[in-house]
Structure 1
Amino acid sequence: MRPADLAREHGLSTQAVRNYEESGFLPPAERTPSGYRVYTEVHAAALRTFIALIPAYGHATAGQIMNAVHADSLDDVLLTIDRGHEQLLRDRATLDSVSNAVANLTDVEPVLEPRTIGELARRLDVTPATLRAWEEAGILVPQREPTGYRLFRAEDVRDAELAHLLRRGGYPLARIALVVDQIRSAGGTDTLGTALTDWRRRLQSRGLAMLTASARLSEYLTARAATP
């Protein structure tokens, strides 16, 4: 096969195929005496796998998985996939929590122990700088100790979980601030309901993409193992 043969199946340029090979997403191609690349069905399977991994895990993680495959680091491959499923499960749980909160907007969550900015950042797996940016955007309104340190109450944690969810869904900070304000004021929930419905569809799409990617990866590993 020529680079054009692989590229045509996915609507890519031949340069993109060469770039993927150079990045380690495809196994190295053999060369003709004149220097032209020669690809095989194994390379085609590798490209199908990489393309399927992108909507499931993102471009960067898809590349990491393929690099690990070609380094024969199967444990790293499986660990990366497990982390993707773990994140999907966490997103689903967060979405369910937010949906429940929306259904009971007038109920005030009991304040247990306020969290510091570091504790909340670790909970969400974001940086403290991200939380400060959300505060500047009006998404978070933590209390302040006399020393100036931020304290996040139960409702602040809820707002942060919602912000995290919507950011992963691609929503801009200004729109998230609007949605969070709706929760605080117990006003209309049309915008919030639409956002949550849209994100649930995104989670379903990602879950289905993971199934497709797993099938492609299994096929590629089998083809790779059968190659002399």
Structure 2
Amino acid sequence: MQPRLKTHVKALRPVDLARTAGISPSLVRTYEQVGFLPAADRSPNGYRRYTDVHVEALRVARCLIAGYGWQRALQVMRAVHAGDSAAALAVVDACHAELHRQRAQIDETLRTLERISRTQTRAPRVTAGRVVRIGAAAQLAGVRPSALRFWEEQGLLQPTRDGTTRSRYYDHEQMQRVQIVALLRAAGYRFDGIRSVLDDLATSRPAQALAALEQRRRSVQRASQQTMHATSALNGYLQNSVELDQPMGVGDHLTT
């Protein structure tokens, strides 16, 4: 279903549209070419003629970039301008789901560290029947198996190895380390800083690890607010700037 843009009287040049966002006219043209903006009409002499729909599309696109990132924002805007609401909503849902996953992982690791802090003892090792192999360990942490191998090379992990197959196995203690390393890497920590946090845990001093995870949780909170703002802007754009041949149901979906 292809969207029909509402009819507007005033035509804007690329420089006029650029001024509304404080960017260059060449960047406006690039936004149109890649799909952040709907295609502009052309005057008889070939000049682009933008409207206030493009002004709103530009505002929303930049908001989506801040909330979803460049790649996902472009996927959303392209889908909207192609009339594919299902594809746009799938990207939006994925953004919110990823933040939820990060928040849940942080909260779970914080609970573990707080328990360690209270007991001042290291978590007991689980039985051999409860260890996991590298693929499952990577999936639980939301990273690739190659990341676990690299972190092992850096001395951050010490999985047990099968004497015959040399397969890696991760027990409860190693999985705690995997989660902590993954979160600290996502927060931008270098390996030296991660080693320091892990050393604190190994010596029953988890205060630094707790502080790092609290910082990461605040970062996710800020990202969640930006994503929510982006979703709200998208909802307004769909409702106010685009006419469809029939209702998409987008407004109801995004406001529930």
Matched, 1:171 2:182: no
Q: Which residue is equivalent to 2:3?
A: none
Q: Is the 8 A contact 1:45 1:219 kept in 2?
A: no
Counterparts of 1:203 and 1:119 in 2: how far apart (Å)? Answer: 25
Cα offsets for 1:120-151 (capped at 9, x unmatched): 22223322112211212222221111021110
Q: Is the 8 A contact 2:131 2:170 kept in 1?
A: yes
Shift of residue 96, structure 1, vs aligned partner: 1.0
Matched, 1:108 2:123: yes
Q: Which amino acid in 2 is paired with 1:91?
A: Q
Q: Is the 8 A contact 2:113 2:206 kept in 1?
A: no
Q: Is the 8 A contact 2:197 2:206 kept in 1?
A: no
Shift of residue 217, structure 1, vs aligned partner: 0.3
**Greater CA deviation, 173-182 or 41-50?**
173-182
Matched, 1:196 2:213: yes
1:27-46 → structure 2 map (5 Å cutoff): 27-46=38-57
Cα offsets for 1:6-33 (capped at 9, x unmatched): 3333332222221111111111111222
Shift of residue 92, structure 1, vs aligned partner: 1.0
**Identical aligned pairs, as a percentage?**
37
Counterparts of 2:218 and 2:178 in 1: how far apart (Å)? Answer: 21
Distance 1:41 1:200, change over 3 A: same
Distance 1:225 1:122, change over 3 A: same
Distance 1:206 1:158, change over 3 A: same
Q: Which residue is equivalent to 1:87?
A: 98
Q: Which residue is equivalent to 2:232?
A: 215
Counterparts of 1:227 and 1:4 in 2: how far apart (Å)? Answer: 29
Distance 1:172 1:27, change over 3 A: farther
Aligned residues: 227
SS at match of 2:242: helix
Q: Which residue is equivalent to 1:98?
A: 109
Counterparts of 1:7 and 1:157 in 2: how far apart (Å)? Answer: 50
Q: Which residue is equivalent to 1:61?
A: 72
Matched, 1:143 2:160: yes
Q: TM-score, normalised by structure 1?
A: 0.89
**Unpaired runs of at least 5, structure 1:** none
SS at match of 1:68: helix
Distance 1:182 1:194, change over 3 A: same
Shift of residue 226, structure 1, vs aligned partner: 3.1
Structure 1 segments (4+ residues) deviating >3 Å: none
Counterparts of 1:177 and 1:56 in 2: how far apart (Å)? Answer: 32
Shift of residue 117, structure 1, vs aligned partner: 1.0
Q: Is the 8 A contact 2:125 2:171 kept in 1?
A: no
Shift of residue 221, structure 1, vs aligned partner: 0.9
SS at match of 2:23: coil
SS at match of 1:151: strand
Distance 1:31 1:177, change over 3 A: farther
Q: Which amino acid in 1 is paired with 2:227?
A: M
Q: TM-score, normalised by structure 2?
A: 0.80
Report 1 or 2 for greater relative contact order, CA contacts < 8 Å, sequence distance ≥ 6.
2
Shift of residue 109, structure 1, vs aligned partner: 4.8
**Greater CA deviation, 1-10 or 113-122?**
1-10
Counterparts of 1:23 and 1:135 in 2: how far apart (Å)? Answer: 41
Cα offsets for 1:165-188 (capped at 9, x unmatched): 222223333322332332233235
Matched, 1:157 2:175: yes
Q: Is the 8 A contact 1:144 1:150 kept in 2?
A: yes
